[in-house]
Every structure is written in C-alpha cells, then in structure tokens.
Amino acid sequence: MGGDVKSSAGIFAFHGKRESLSPSVERITWERIMNFLDFALTCERLERISGRIEMTQQLSDVLSRLDGDDLRHFVHFVTGKIFPDWSPFKLGIGPNLLYDAITLIVDATRADVIGEINRRGDVGLAVQSILEQKKVGKKSQKGSTIQTALFSRQLDIGSVYDDLERCARLEGRSSQSEKLSIIQNLFQNASPLEAKYLARLLMEDLRIGVGEGTMRDAIALAFSVDPTLVEHAYQALNDLGEVAVLAKRGREALADVHILPFHPVKMMLAQQGSIEQAVAENGAVAAEYKYDGSRFQFHKKGKISRIYSRKLEEVTTALPEVVEILNRATTHDVILDGEVIAIKEGKPLPFQTVLRRFRRKYDIEAMQKEVMMQPYVFDILYLDGTTLIDLPLRERRMHLESALTSCIAPQTVSADISTLEETYRRSLEDGHEGLMLKILSSPYTPGIRGKNWLKIKPGVDTMDLAVIGAEWGEGKRAHVFGSFLLACQDQGDLLAVGKVATGFSEEQLLEVYDILKDHVISESGKEVSLEPFLVFEVGYSEIQASPNYESGYALRFPRFIRMRDDKGISDIETLEGIRERFGRQSSQKTG
Ligand code: AMP
C-alpha cells in the first residue's frame, strides 16, 4: 500500500492491551502499517466517548501518526466509508452475503447467524460474539485456538481496503461467489474484535459517531490548519481522506485545491424560503424555474464527457442524448450543474419518467424515441482548468453564458416582489415545480444546504428522510412492509423522526418491498431494521417535539409522497434543519 513505512515499533502502543493474536503474525506487520486490529481498538475507544471535543482530540492524535494511504483509508473507514464519495466504486455487499460469509467460517447454520444478529440488533456485536463462541468451542475440543491457527495473514487497513476494492471491481455472473470468498477470507483472518468492525464497515455503518464535522475538526487539530480551509478543501475534493493527506503536507497544499474533471463534486442544495424574505434580506436576487426532473453534473475534458446523477453515480450510458446535447452546447472543458427534465408534446413529464431513464441499462434507444430529455444548466464549477466555485454567482453566470451556446436555464434578476411572483406563476403554469431564488453574491458550496439557494413550491411541507426500519403490513398487506421508520441525519448518525404508513398505493408498497427485502439487517416480531440507503420524500402537517424518537421530534400526519432514489443518505434532512423548521413553525404560530 503505497510503501508508507512507519519508523518505530508500536506507534499505536497507546492502545495498551492487545488481543491475543499469534505472536509471529504480530511481528510481521506491527511495526510498519496500521493493523486492522489497531483500527478496531481505536474504534472501540471512540465508541465509548460521547463528547465531541474528546472524540476530536482522540481522533487527531491517531491522524497525526498516520501517513499516505493509511491516513486516507483510516479517515474513510472511521467515518463508515470505504471509498471517497466521488469514487465510481460501490462495494455491493448486502447483509445476505455477510451472513453467508460468517456461516461459512463457523460451525453454525445461516439461521443461527441471523438469529444472533436479530437478538443483538447489531451486526457488529453479533459477529463478534459468534466468533468468540467459535473460539471457545474449538478450544474445548482441541485445547488450542483453532481460529488463531486459521490466520494466514494479519489484516491491516491497506490490505482490507485492497480486498474491498477488488470486490467493488468484480462484475458478471460469478462476481457474487468471488465476493463471498474474499469476505470469507477476511473474516477467517479477523479476531472477534476486528470482525465486529469489519462487519459494520461492510455495512458502511460503523456506529461510533464519527461524523464528517468531527473528522474535519480532527484533521484541523492534527495538522494545525484552519478548520475553514479543511472545509473548503473538502467541498472541492469531496474526499476527506485526500484532504487529510494535503493537510499533513501543510497549509499551502491544502489551500491550493482544485476540482478535477471526472471527480464529481457534491451538489449544492436548497432550503425552503419565501420571495418576501429573500428580497427583504438581499435586495435583488436571481430567480429560475424549479424544474422537476433529476439533477445532473456534466464533466467534459477534451473529447471525453461524462454525466453523473445527484448521487454522483456515472450515468453516461443511460443518457446518451443528454450528453450529446451538452457536447453540442460547448467546446470548452467544463463541469456544469443542472436539472434534466423529460418533455412530451411541449409539457414536462412527471419526475419519475426522468428517473427511469437514469436507471435504464437496456433498450435505451427505444426510450429515447418515446420522450425527449431536456437539460437545463444553471451553474458552472470549472472552466478550462480553472475552479470557479469560489466566485460569486453573478460571475459564474457570466462564465456560464460565455461557455455555453444553449441549454442555459433562463434567469430573472430582480428585487421586485411582483416580478418574482410573476416568474413563479409562469413556472407553475408551464408545468414546473416552483421557483428557485439564488443570492447573487454567493459562492458555490458543494453539499451545503444553506440560505444561498431558496426553493419555493406550493402545497404541503415535505422532507427527505432515510428509511431505517419497517413493519410488516396486516391483512392484504401482510406480504409486504406496511409502515416505515424514518430518520434524519446528525453528524453521521441516523436519528429516528417518525413512521409513515399512509400515502402509498398497493403498487408502491410492492415496489418498495422489492427494493428493501434484501436489505433487512435484523428482525424482531413484526419489525425489521434495514440497511439505510433508501430515501422517502414525506409530507407532514407539523413538526412536534417528541420523546418517542431519538431525534427529539416527530412528524404530525406524515404522508408518503415519493421515493427519492435519486437521493442518497447524505442528502436527507439534518437534525439542525428540523430544529430550524420547528423554530420557524413555532414563531409563525406565535407571530
Ligand atoms: P429539493 O429536491 O426539493 O430539495 O429541491 C432542490 C432541487 O431542485 C435541486 O437539488 C435540483 O435538483 C432541483 N432544481 C430544479 N431546478 C433548479 C434550479 N433552477 N436551480 C437549482 N436546483 C434546481
């Protein structure tokens, strides 16, 4: 792994107690790289810490001892990721494959393994306990630890990463069995404690409470750099591991970051607002239609063009005509941000039609004939080698207009409320979703949902939330899930905020069940806990303070609006956002 050799023995000796591993194995790698056991021990210590300041301190202590690839992998792993967000790699290992791998290495049936996971309600603890029991069982039979004897190599974070990257690269019919054998081998070489965190890592849910915010602060502390510089570099690079490596090199390296074609950047997000408030606070603002399609990011360098979905997955082959239209619109090297809608007989089609195109793998030509895809570009992040995200919107818009000959989303700049209301009315009349108001002096802030982009749409309040659990339905719905536990995010943790059981058609329940059925982590009575990945947009009448859910809030009359499979867990509502909405709602009531 990149040849990052540490100089002295026991750089992680501060962990004190080590699990009993074969001494010969320990000697081989301990002095050189971060063993996976050290990673697991670090996680174990962090898991016990509840205060953010102490967590930041402890993390920074570890970060400052790491280098190169080890530093990169540690930052990713400890925040529950394997690959950076821009990476095309997806691990593609669900709970089923994990159960199979564990079953293969212990004297237990698959049902025993699943039973233990259900009992514990946590994959990591269950796997740890299964391996511990196995160790004891073998010992009593043969008087020595079979598990230790099975070790053929000591795991380190670099080799674990390599194995997982190998998994992500596998394609085709035999890929599942090859993945299984890689994962089985990893567990065979893991001590129970390592297996606990390995299992959680494979589910990309480490449960130790290290969010991106804590990691940013820890990087700043470890390498004595300004946290705002860390944040800025993260926004541009979309890779905290890389940011840590630059921070280690020093302030200058960190300040000199550029976004790169084909490394997609997180999308800037909008929060709810009103025309009156936007004008009162800012004077003239830029108004654009809010198109109800799918977000895209288009990257072009020389003759190569690629297009990415809102979740930063590459969708170039699914949308050839959109790529062609955009290629025709510019001769420059660019990174563009926009929304693509589907049009039939001059009218926008529902958003689901566009999503279907994003997911399409076959019969793309036939689909192209059916509906016309129209991209609207509203921002430019990169032009001919120059990163533009720090420029104010009004300057980015000038670059956009100079670089593109077509496809630019029309914009009205005005401080006049009736002019902006007229634009809003026209947008709805033309079949679009509402209005976007943008602050002219604002930079492009990837991944940030702030006051610089405001969305205005009619109707109920809605929120995007992660589905983290479900309950089997009753009566004619007994074969599908009938209600769903939803969560918002807070510093990398998912916190429940309520359940939704209304607003679904029978077909939608079937479709949702089909998507979720292979992602059940554990089951208890009628309830299941789910691997979090699916996002629902839900409507609600009010937010209430509630002790019943971890978030401290609950939604009144929650209603399913639609699945947002264009959105990922990082796009869901934050606890802070809910607090703000709650505050606004309370002040509206009293005011
Ligand atoms: P929402 O998904 O409700 O949070 O609304 C924000 C989304 O509206 C963005 O992520 C875009 O996908 C979409 N959108 C549509 N038109 C625009 C526009 N003119 N500017 C920015 N975002 C837009």
Judge if the beta carbon of residue 231 lies within 6 A of ligand 1. Answer: no
* CA of residue 289 to ligand 1 center, whole Å: 9
Query: How many angstroms separate the CA atoms of 457 and 491, rounded?
Result: 28
Judge if the beta carbon of residue 260 lies within 6 A of ligand 1. Answer: no
Closest ligand 1 atom to residue 294 Cα is 12
Task: Read off the pLDDT of residues 248-262 as tens digits, 9 standing for 90 and up.
Answer: 999 999 999 999 999
Closest ligand 1 atom to residue 290 Cα is 16
Judge whether residue 135 has pLDDT over 90. no
Higher-pLDDT residue of 368, 108: 108
Identify the active-site residue in 135, 138, 266, 290.
Answer: 290
Q: What is the mean pLDDT of residues 387-402?
A: 97
What's the confidence (pLDDT) of residue 589? 55
Task: Read off the pLDDT of residues 63-87 as tens digits, 9 standing for 90 and up.
Answer: 999 999 999 999 999 999 999 989 9
Query: How many angstroms separate the CA atoms of 29 and 35, rounded?
Result: 7
Closest CA to 486 of 530, 522, 523: 530
Q: Please confirm, yes or no, whether 290 is among the known catalytic residues.
A: yes
Residues in the chain: 591
Band (139; pLDDT cuts 50, 70, 90): very low
Query: How many angstroms separate the CA atoms of 486 and 508, rounded?
Result: 17
Band (151; pLDDT cuts 50, 70, 90): low
Judge whether residue 190 has pLDDT over 80. yes
Residue 7 three-state SS: coil
Determine which helix (DSSP H) or strand (DSSP E) holds 498, and give its type and residue range: strand 493-500
What's the confidence (pLDDT) of residue 352? 82
The answer to whether 521 and 502 are in contact (CB under 8 A) is no
Judge if the beta carbon of residue 295 lies within 6 A of ligand 1. Answer: yes
Judge whether residue 340 has pLDDT over 70. yes
What's the confidence (pLDDT) of residue 590? 54
* CA of residue 191 to ligand 1 center, whole Å: 47
Least-confidence region, from 201-210, 319-328, 496-505: 201-210
As a whole number of angstroms, the longest Cα–Cα distance in the chain is 84
Q: Which residue has the tokens 């401080």?
A: 415
Query: Average pLDDT over the chain, rounded to whole?
Result: 88
The DSSP call for residue 285 is E
What is the bridge-based pairing of β-strands 449-456 and 269-272? parallel
Residue ID of nearest Cα to ligand 1 atom 11: 295
